[in-house]
Amino acid sequence: NAGVTQTPKFQVLKTGQSMTLQCAQDMNHEYMSWYRQDPGMGLRLIHYSVGAGITDQGEVPNGYNVSRSTTEDFPLRLLSAAPSQTSVYFCASSSHLAGGRIGETQYFGPGTRLLVL
Partner 1 sequence: GENVEQHPSTLSVQEGDSAVIKCTYSDSASNYFPWYKQELGKRPQLIIDIRSNVGEKKDQRIAVTLNKTAKHFSLHITETQPEDSAVYFCAARTPYKLSFGAGTTVTVRA
**Which positions touch partner 1 (CB under 8 A)?**
33, 35, 40-45, 48, 50, 56, 58-59, 90, 99-102, 104-106, 108-111
Other beta carbons within 10 Å of 103: 14
Closest contact distance (angstroms) between CB of 62 and partner 1 is: 15
**Does residue 61 have a cis bond before it (omega within 30 degrees)?**
no
9 vs 14, beta carbon nearer partner 1: 9
In order of 36, 44, 62, 117, the CA distances from 58 in angstroms are 11, 8, 10, 25
Closest contact distance (angstroms) between CB of 43 and partner 1 is: 4
Closest contact distance (angstroms) between CB of 23 and partner 1 is: 12
17 vs 88, beta carbon nearer partner 1: 88
Torsions phi, psi for 83 (to 5 deg): -55, -30
